[in-house]
Structures are given as structure tokens and as C-alpha cells.
Structure 1
Amino acid sequence: MTLYSSKKVVAIGGGHGLGRMLSALKDFGGNATGIVATTDNGGSTGRIRNCQGGIAWGDTRNCINQLITEPSISSMMFEYRFKGSGELDGHNLGNLMLTALDNLSVRPLDATNLIRNMLKVDVNIIPMSEHPSDLRALAPNGKWVTGETSVDEMPDKLVRLDLEPEVPATREGVVAIEQADAIILGPGSFLTSIMPPLLLPEIGRAIANNRKAHLIFVENLSPEYGPAGKMSLLEKLEWCERACRGRRVDVVLGNEPHPELDMWNCVTTPLASPNRDWRHDRTKLQHAIESLLLD
């Protein structure tokens, strides 16, 4: 029995970072699951949400795009972005396809699976929730700010981060966490990609209760901006552990050593892509995660 068939891995996050991680885990096939943030309110996704409602589809679409291994007319359609001066300018056809399925009363997870099957993507992609919600942040001056884009633009550190309204986690995502041998947080935007799924009580509780799994935090390779950029790695770990009911992060995986984090197991290994040092190399990520699973 190979590692890919005997171990189950769950990665949590959103957008480019989670897509990169899932593409590194693609050899696990159906034993790999991505739990995707659904709170984005910017770009094409934000425009669709403003006029149609529903969950944010952009991060899910991004993850699926990075897992497409067989280019086809279907994949070109899914990745197509309209250009011009009309209302379609900037919209991604994949976002519109997923929104159309939602409007047809197709369950969001079923819609995602339909697209995955069409594009021959084996890795499971599960929206963190099938109900629309937005990020809400409390600033030091006591003011609440709502919406991912507004949170990213806040000038100061955050006091608190919530979901508005409170929504249930997708049950299949919770089950995947309960069965996982490794749970990976990151890489990606800390406040707007990694934290939103962890704010769902069922997800934090499932991570806390799964003591057999390696809980792995993967660092970004380039600094963040906005309030996340003002947080230290220690603060980020504390936020994650608080959301996970005090569950300790087992491994901090990164490109640089962190002697100040003497209470955590920090694994330092080269992870950067040779031609873009701000982006994780898929093969290096794959080998790093596999070596942790073999420990």
C-alpha cells in the first residue's frame, strides 16, 4: 500500500495558496481534500455576489484551475475571462457557471463536484460553508468593518475576526477533517484565506478532536500587506490554535528558521520556486508534506 492510498490529507485555505498546495497533493487523488474559503467579496466574485447573492466562488474556481491536468475545450471555457467595455468585462466564466448552478438550486458541493468531474479533477474540493457569509473585523478603535476587501485595507492590527452571519460548515468538510492523517493550514493570505474556515465552530472542533493528525502550518514566502502584515508568526499560530480550541500546531513548515519559536516544531526546508521566489514549488511542497507523513 502506498502513501497516497493509505493516508488522507486535508488542506484549508483559499485562492492561490490553497490551489498551490492542492496541486502539490494531487498524487493523493481522492485522499486529498481542500476546504475552501467562501467569503471573498472582491473582483468578479464580489460583483456576482452583489447582484446574485450566494457564496463566493472565486477561490473554489482558482483551486480547480490549478488542478486541471488535461487541457481541453472544457478547461479553456472554465478559465475564460471576458474582456471589453461592457458588464461582462473582468468576469470569469467559471464563476458564472458555478453561480448558474447555484441559481438552479444545485447544492454548492454538488455543483463543485459536477465541474470537477467535467474537468477530470480527482482531488476533493469542498466549500467551507454552503451558506453566504462575510468576514467582519473589529479595529482597535472599536469600529467593526465588514467584507474581505475592507478587512485587507484596514490600517491597524485587528482585535477580532468574525463571520457575519454565523453559518454552518459543510458536513463533508468536517468528516474529511475527522478522518485526516494530516491537516494543513496555508500557505495563503492569513486573515482572508486561512482564518475564515477556522472561524466555523464545527471545523475548529473537528481539528481539535483529531489528535492522530499532524496539524501543519505552512508559512508564506513573501510578506503580507494590510493588518496580516503587521502580525508576527507567533501571533498567527496563536490565532489558529485559539480557533482550534487550543489544539497545538504540530509542525511549522517554512523556508526560514525561527529560533524564537522554541515551543513549536519548526521544519526548515527550501520551498521556493526557482524562477519565482515568492511562490511555493509544487514538487518541494509535495516532498516536504510526504516526509512529515512518514515520520
Structure 2
Amino acid sequence: MIRRRVMSRKVGSAQKWLYPGLGVKRWLALLLIGIAFLSLGIAYLLHDLYISGWISRSTWQMLTLTFLPGWARSLGGVLVGLSLAAIAIYRFNHALLGAFVPPGSVSVVDTLYRHRLRQRGAKVVAIGGGNGLNTLLRGLKHYTDNITAIVTVADDGGSSGRLRRELGVLPPGDFRNCITALADDEALITQLFQYRFSSRSGEIDDSALNGHSFGNLFITAMTGVTGSFEKALIESGRVLAIRGQIVPSTLEDVTLCAELVDDTSGNWVVSGESAIPKARRPIGRVYLEPDNVPAYPPAVRAILEADLIVAGPGSLFTSVLPNLLVEDIVNAIRASTALKVYICNVATQAGETDEFEVADHVAALERHTGPGLFPYVLVNDNLVNNPPSGWNFQQVVLRKPLEAGYRVITADVVDEQRPWRHHPEKLARALMNWYGKQSRESVGTESIPHEL
């Protein structure tokens, strides 16, 4: 039974060589035509040698199998020829391409099949920053290679903030996380890029490296080598074979500011992305200094060419909205014909969205970008009825319907082990299945594939 199952799996895998879009059948047909002409040429040569007396009659009869009926010779020749060609092609591909197949992959054809499907996948633009964006990217990369991550440049905390202040580079932290999320060998690249230099145990270390992550230093060094931050991202993506591209929303050195609401002293302003959540006050609005900065042109181009534009998940005021405060980005989103979805967080964030429901997230988006920028809202529907008392967050729920013009998509997208975050595979599957359904309904074309 097990042997039969294994054989059935191998046969099914072999059949994928004939699937549309792999770009294999045309060359296979050309190969068989070439073999046929080669066989004819050899046959003519042998016939001429026999006629001229170079081959004896007995040898000729053995070579041409004249002792068999004509139908048996024809059928046998075709079957033997096809079998030998199939075995040769199979072994050749494994010998040639086996070195490029990732460990754990089922076969060469499965790897090629998945690669071709991802190449034909939807053009997806994901807008945000922080952990929310790289969570989405880790799931999306299994569906399409045509991903553009548009990342905020307002980060000013930790290692990124130090490099920004000391070397004048854009903050690399969120870009580092996106690179690890889109890398082919995600586990190894994540370990390498997230590695932080620290002091020896029990010692005070004033080293310049202390607290920096290797990924931040890598991107900063690549900036020095290539001459610009944007080129550093391109070359880093090429070196690490990421699926898709990562671009900043703007190349300007901006500071994120927030007007906080204080019941006792009125509104007051906090400057700096890292300082906003620490203020622990309701946020009225956020804005950039300087304002009216130009967008990075490749980001605008990706939005205009996209099939699907996604904002979130992630910190609403400090990761998602900073990108949407760039006027050119918002204008491009409105001009784009893509489907537009806002992915609402599954949990509130202390210092930013305390007590927020789904409607509050959407209202905050509207205050900053105007109504209807993202007419679809993806909401988690896998809620815990009696949350543990130890939770320091609240589930984001849909208690009241959204205003006219919005449509809600509900799905189980929460990571049950870490219920304050989305689950990468669940989120990508829900999003892309919904996109596939919308595509079929709107244009009647075949939907994108399920997870590969």
C-alpha cells in the first residue's frame, strides 16, 4: 500500500511537467522532433551502408529486426525510444537542477511548478512597517513573487535611531525585517540579520556595536558601498534572493509627530516615533515634519501597477499611517484600479490604540487620509470569549457596523499561540482567497493559486 502511494505520488509529480505555463512542453516537443530527425538520419546512413555492401545481410536483418512483424517493430521502436528519452530527461534534470532545489522539496518539477505559479501571481503592494508588515510578507511570499513592500522611514528608536542620528542613513530596522520575511532561506537569514551585538555577561560595554543588529549594519554598509539607501535595498534583495522588492515611502529625513489629547492641559505635541507610545495618551492625529515630502517614485509606480493594495497590519499611528501621510502615496492609491484592503489589527496596542474597536481604526484612517481610501476591511473573527486576566491587551472586535462605503471581510487570521498577532499563513490565505474570488467575479478570469 505504501509503495503504491509513493508510486502514485511520483506519477502525479511527473505529470506536472506537462502543466500549462511551465515553459517545458515546447522544448520537450522540440527535443523529440530532433530525436526523430536524428533517428531518420541514422536509418538512412545504415541503409546506404547496406546497399553499398558495407553491412552484411545477416547484420542488416538483426539491426532492422526483420524476424519480427512490421507492427511489432514499429511499436517496439516507439516505446523503447520514448522510454529511453524519458529516463534520460528525468535523470538529466535531477543531475543539472538538483543542486538548486531547496532542502526538503519534493522534487525538481514541484520546485519549478511553484516558482512558475508565483511568477504569475498577483501584483501585491503591502504598506506598513514593524512586525505587522513582515508577518504579512512571510505568508504572501508563498503565493506570489510580485510583492512590493512600502515601508515607513519614521523609525527613530533603538539601533535604527542610532544609525540614523550618527550616520545620516534612513532607519534600516523595518527594512531588515522585511528582507528576512521575504528571503528564500528565511530561518537562516532571520537568525543572521536579527543577531544583536551585546556586551559580555556582567560587564559594562561602551562598544559602538553594542545593541546593533547585524542586519542594520549590513544595510548601512551596503548603503556606503552602493552610494545610496535605495540601491542598498536593491542589492541586498538580490544578494539574499528575496521574493519581491522593498522600497521606502519617501527618501526624505522625516520626523513623526503626534498631537496627544490630554483632558487636563489640552492637546500637546510629541516628536519622534518611539516617543509617541510612551506618552500613554490618546492620539488625536499624527503628521510628518517636514510635511508635503515627495514619495519615492518606484513606490508610486508599484501602487499604480498593482492588482491588490494592502495597508496593515501593524501599529496604526506609528507604522501604517506614516506611509499614508506622504501625499503622493495617497494620491496614487486613489488613482489605482487595484483592490484595496485595510487589515485591522487583532489586538489593541498600549499607548496607541487602547480601547479601540474596528470602527475606531477605520475612523483614524479616515481622519488622516479622507474617506474610502481602503473600502475593504479584513477583520479577525476568531475571538476568545473569556480572555485570561493576565492579558495586557484587548481583542479588536467589530461591535458596530462601519459607515457606508466599507465592506467587511471576516476570517480566522489570529495566531493562537500569540493572540496579539496575526498568523502569517492564515492571514495570507484569507487575503489571497478573497482576492481570487473578487478577481473571478469582476473579470471572469482564473483566480490565483492557493498556497503553493
| TM-score, normalised relative to structure 1 | 0.90
Q: 1:98 to 1:262 in 2, by over 3 A?
A: closer
Counterpart of 1:280 (choices 422, 430, 436) is 422
Q: 1:54 to 1:71 in 2, by over 3 A?
A: closer
What SS does structure 2 have at the residue aligned with 1:228?
coil
Which of the two has higher C-alpha Rg? Answer: 2
Q: 1:126 matched to which residue of 2?
A: 247
Counterpart of 2:229 (choices 108, 133, 139) is 108
| Aligned amino acid, residue 260 of structure 1 | K
Separation of aligned partners in 2, 1:3 and 1:88: 39
Q: 1:64 matched to which residue of 2?
A: 179
Q: 2:153 matched to which residue of 1?
A: 38
Q: 1:231 to 1:92 in 2, by over 3 A?
A: same
Task: Structure 2: state its 5+ residue gaps.
Answer: 1-20, 22-116, 200-204, 382-396, 439-452
Q: 1:209 matched to which residue of 2?
A: 335
Separation of aligned partners in 1, 2:277 and 2:305: 33
Separation of aligned partners in 2, 1:115 and 1:33: 15
Deviates more, 1:223-232 or 1:80-89: 223-232
- Whether contact under 8 Å (2:118, 2:145) holds in the other structure is no
Q: Which has a greater percent of helix?
A: 2
Q: Percent identity?
A: 32
Q: 1:129 Cα shift?
A: 1.4
Residues 140-195 of structure 1 deviation map (CA, whole Å, 9 limit, x = unaligned): 33432210111112232223211112332111011111111111111111111000
- Whether contact under 8 Å (2:288, 2:322) holds in the other structure is yes
Separation of aligned partners in 1, 2:119 and 2:377: 22
Q: 1:213 to 1:290 in 2, by over 3 A?
A: same
Superposition map of 1:92-241 within 5 A? 92-104=213-225, 106-140=227-261, 141-166=266-291, 167-210=293-336, 212-241=337-366
Q: 1:136 to 1:230 in 2, by over 3 A?
A: farther
CA root-mean-square deviation = 2.3
Task: Structure 1: state its 5+ residue gaps.
Answer: none
Q: 1:259 Cα shift?
A: 4.7
- Whether contact under 8 Å (2:348, 2:356) holds in the other structure is no
Deviates more, 1:119-128 or 1:262-271: 262-271
What SS does structure 2 have at the residue aligned with 1:27?
coil
- How many residue pairs end up in the alignment? 294
- Whether contact under 8 Å (2:222, 2:236) holds in the other structure is no
Q: 1:109 Cα shift?
A: 1.9
| Aligned amino acid, residue 401 of structure 2 | L
Residue 91 in 1 paired to residue 212 in 2?
Answer: yes
Deviates more, 1:190-199 or 1:21-30: 21-30
| Aligned amino acid, residue 432 of structure 2 | E
Residue 81 in 1 paired to residue 192 in 2?
Answer: no
Q: 1:258 matched to which residue of 2?
A: 398
| Aligned amino acid, residue 221 of structure 1 | V
- Whether contact under 8 Å (1:157, 1:230) holds in the other structure is no
